[in-house]
């Protein structure tokens, strides 16, 4: 199948335009080059549609009272905390042991850990066995698409980033926190500090980052909530897309649980890239001049290939 020049340019302009829109949305931004190579750029055209048809305001933090179905989580926060702390004590809240968690791979380097409760289609078997009360609460709310316990140790942080998929919003419920302004999240530069039993809703596609400048570990309930849309057709489309992405990114807590294709590919690419990166670093140390020449040459090659794709 061949595409006309007009079609190719339209696709390119759609990608550039939507990525710029995502980049310029809000006050906090990633560096321009990083934004265009960031995984969030892949979803930029889709995300622009989500923003266009969103039934909630386009702002970093959202009014939690507009989501009354989540009251059941806040009202039962102590029940949820009890199960979370049992898992914490037993060591079940942990990093992905096989590098097969594409969505949060970079977080593990900072000491961030998680235990999945539900991921888009159904609860994980390990969660049903180990924390049945929390799973029952989460599963009683249809628009909770994903849920986990998330841990961040004292003295750690998460660098500025934006999540790639605007079909959902993010919900946090404090379970065991430092209850301090020194343990906080910045969403588009606006600060929120976690407190036990308190919750918050925000749009995770704004640039956000986290700092825990205390000595205490922070444990929260972390949920993906379906973004309310103003159009029924877009709602159906978003649910279908979410379902496919959920299956492709299916995570695991224990080795016998299913892993989605994207996470499997991520694990393979991580192994390959680590080996490749090690070889590149060795070559760079041995041949620093050749390395400095090779980088711009590679950039030119990429530009030439793009030019040929556009103009034949």
Residues 119, 128: Cα–Cα separation, whole Å: 12
Contacts of 36 (CB under 8 A, 6+ apart): 19
What's the mean pLDDT in 194-206? Answer: 98
Res 77: pLDDT? 98
Closest by CA position to 16, among listed 39, 40, 38, 45:
45
Q: Which two tokens stand for residue 288?
A: 């620093």
The end-to-end CA distance of the chain, in Å, is 14
Res 301: pLDDT? 73
Regarding predicted confidence, which is higher, 305 or 215?
215
Q: Which two tokens stand for residue 191?
A: 């600060």
Instruction: Assign 2 a pLDDT band (cuts: 50, 70, 90).
Output: low
Instruction: Assign 161 a pLDDT band (cuts: 50, 70, 90).
Output: very high
Residues 23, 35: Cα–Cα separation, whole Å: 7
Instruction: Assign 101 a pLDDT band (cuts: 50, 70, 90).
Output: confident
Q: Which helix (H) or strand (E) holds 39?
A: none
Residue 277 has pLDDT above 70, yes or no: no
Res 308: pLDDT? 66
Residue 13 has pLDDT above 70, yes or no: yes
Strand partners, 119: 146
Tell me the per-residue pLDDT of 46-77, one tens digit each, with 9 for 90 and over. Answer: 999 999 999 999 999 999 999 999 999 999 99
What's the mean pLDDT in 15-40? Answer: 88
Mean pLDDT of the chain: 90
Residues 78, 69: Cα–Cα separation, whole Å: 18
Residue 260 has pLDDT above 70, yes or no: yes
What is the reported pTM? Answer: 0.87
CB atoms within 10 A of CB 237: 17
Residues 84, 99: Cα–Cα separation, whole Å: 23
Regarding predicted confidence, which is higher, 3 or 68?
68
CA-to-CA dists, residue 249 to 63, 67, 104, 196, 264, angstroms: 29, 26, 11, 30, 9
Residues 219, 175: Cα–Cα separation, whole Å: 6
Residues 232, 304: Cα–Cα separation, whole Å: 43
What's the mean pLDDT in 106-129? Answer: 92
Residue 42 has pLDDT above 90, yes or no: no
Res 304: pLDDT? 73
What's the mean pLDDT in 293-305? Answer: 72
What's the mean pLDDT in 194-207? Answer: 98
Instruction: Assign 103 a pLDDT band (cuts: 50, 70, 90).
Output: confident
CB atoms within 10 A of CB 223: 26
- Express as a percent the part of the chain with pLDDT over 90: 64
Residues 154, 132: Cα–Cα separation, whole Å: 28
Instruction: Assign 5 a pLDDT band (cuts: 50, 70, 90).
Output: confident
What's the mean pLDDT in 179-199? Answer: 98
Contacts of 160 (CB under 8 A, 6+ apart): 28, 30, 207, 208, 209
């Amino acid at each position: 199948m061949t595409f006309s020049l007009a079609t190719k340019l339209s696709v390119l302009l759609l990608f550039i335009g939507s990525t710029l829109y995502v980049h310029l949305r809000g006050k906090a931004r990633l560096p321009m080059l990083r934004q265009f190579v960031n995984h969030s750029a892949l979803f930029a055209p889709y995300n622009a549609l989500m923003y266009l048809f969103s039934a909630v305001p386009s702002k970093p933090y959202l009014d939690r009272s507009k989501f009354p179905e989540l009251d059941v989580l806040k009202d039962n926060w102590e029940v949820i905390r009890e199960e979370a702390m049992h898992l914490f004590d037993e060591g079940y809240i942990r990093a992905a042991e096989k590098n097969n968690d594409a969505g949060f791979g970079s977080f593990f380097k900072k000491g961030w850990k998680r235990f999945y409760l539900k991921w888009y289609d159904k609860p994980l078997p390990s969660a049903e066995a180990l924390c049945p009360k929390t799973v029952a609460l989460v599963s009683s709310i249809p628009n909770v698409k994903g849920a986990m316990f998330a841990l961040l140790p004292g003295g750690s942080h998460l660098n500025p980033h934006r999540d790639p998929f605007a079909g959902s919003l993010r919900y946090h419920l404090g379970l065991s926190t430092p209850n301090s302004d020194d343990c906080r999240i910045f969403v588009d530069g606006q600060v929120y500090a976690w407190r036990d039993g308190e919750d918050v809703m925000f749009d995770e596609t704004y640039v956000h980052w986290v700092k825990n400048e205390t000595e205490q570990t922070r444990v929260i309930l972390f949920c993906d909530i379906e973004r309310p849309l103003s159009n029924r057709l877009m709602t159906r489309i978003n649910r279908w897309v979410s379902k496919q992405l959920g299956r492709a990114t299916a995570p695991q807590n224990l080795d016998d649980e299913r892993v989605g294709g994207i996470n499997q590919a991520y694990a393979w690419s991580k192994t390959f890239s680590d080996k490749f990166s090690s070889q590149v670093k060795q070559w760079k140390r041995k041949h620093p001049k050749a390395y400095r020449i090779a980088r711009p040459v590679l950039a030119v090659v990429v530009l030439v290939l793009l030019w040929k794709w556009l103009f034949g």
